[in-house]
Amino acid sequence: MTVSINSAPAATASPAAGRPWRDWLALGLLMFPVLLVAVDNTALTFALPAIARALEPTGVQLLWIVDAYPLVLAGLLVSMGSLGDRIGRRRLLVVGSMGFAGLSVATAFAPAPEWLIASRAALGFFGAMLMPSTLSLIRNIFPEPNRRRLAVAIWAAGFSGGAALGPIFGGWLVEHFWWGAVFLVAVPLMLPLLVLAPALIPESKDPAPGKVDIPSILLSMLVMVPVVYGIKAVATEGPGAAGLGSILFGLLMGVVFVRRQHRLKHPLLDMSLFRNRVFSTAISANVLALFSFNGFILFLAQHLQAPGGNDPVRGGRRHDPCTGGHGGGRPGGGAAGPQGPPRVCGGCGADLQRHRLQHGGLRKPRRRTLAAAGGAPGPGVGGGHG
């Protein structure tokens, strides 16, 4: 995403200048898509048992129901950010919100696993329009550094709050309605944004956007999708030709992608950043932390409801210390940054993560919950610092 701190405010002056209350109302509107994405990620895990009973998907299809959305979203975030630079970030946000709300209805009433997987992938397409637009608009609405810093902190806190709310909210919806209610919640959350955004959120564009390289976008998808498919195939069928061949093809596309980025004047991803040891270490640590955290979250949600014998609401309450601790650890890691070197904060976060993974399988539910809560801030501390 080609966003410039200097150019964004100059592109379009905020009509709310001199009326700061409108800036904070605009920020409140921008929190709706942030909360939606955070709630959706954690609430879905508590709907999976109900989805499995209703649609009877295979194990691989169940994993694709979870992964289709973030795969498409991650592959299109940068390109959608560049699109917003050109057509207007508020316009992209409104289009994404309309598409997300409409597709959420189709997803809620999916009659088959294939329909649900395709709908989740389409949600990822429109979800990729939401996140870069919100952050870019915040930088345009709050040009003054101190107010912008506070606004970005509130924006980040929305993820933490949504992630903590998701298990309880999702469990309550599944318990009192049906699994599709987890997706239908997007409709009322998006309505205030669609109605009030034209009046409260100023439009913002980049006056000199960089060139978008379509082949790089396609190559990035050809890296991620085959590798994920191959890993799932190997996990279910063993190391066969289809799974290993798919992984090999994805890695080969990764090599092609990297070589293309080195040749482009305006690359989709600046590969020279990875020559910085601090940057590479921070990225690697965050990837490993989030990999283990998200895997643990998926496992814990199923374990609490099946072997644990909890209904969705009770399971959500037991699950919440984990997501809440992770969310609380992120601002704590950011606050600790000026007080110590990155390796100290990162090491503390990794040790907390190890504690959670080591003791999360205790037999007594109360001890297991306390262990999960105690280790949950680990990835947040490391990620907030990085």
Contacts of residue 316, Cβ cutoff 8 Å, sequence gap at least 6: 46, 167, 168, 169, 170, 171, 172
For residue 2, the model assigns a pLDDT of 42
What digits encode the pLDDT tens for the residues 352-372?
Answer: 555 555 554 444 444 444 444
pTM above threshold 0.85: no
What digits encode the pLDDT tens for the residues 11-28?
Answer: 444 444 446 778 888 888
Q: Write down the domain spans for the chain.
A: 17-207
What digits encode the pLDDT tens for the residues 165-197?
Answer: 777 777 788 888 888 888 888 888 888 888 888
Question: Which carries the bigger pLDDT value, residue 262 or residue 282?
Answer: 262
For residue 84, the model assigns a pLDDT of 84
**How large a percentage of the chain has pLDDT more than 70?**
68
How far is C-alpha 323 from the chain's CA centre?
A: 14
For residue 363, the model assigns a pLDDT of 46
What digits encode the pLDDT tens for the residues 73-120?
Answer: 877 887 788 788 888 888 999 999 899 989 999 999 999 999 999 999
Contacts of residue 141, Cβ cutoff 8 Å, sequence gap at least 6: 14, 16, 23, 26, 27, 151, 201, 202
- What CATH code is assigned to 17-207? 1.20.1250.20
pLDDT category, 351, cuts 50, 70, 90? low
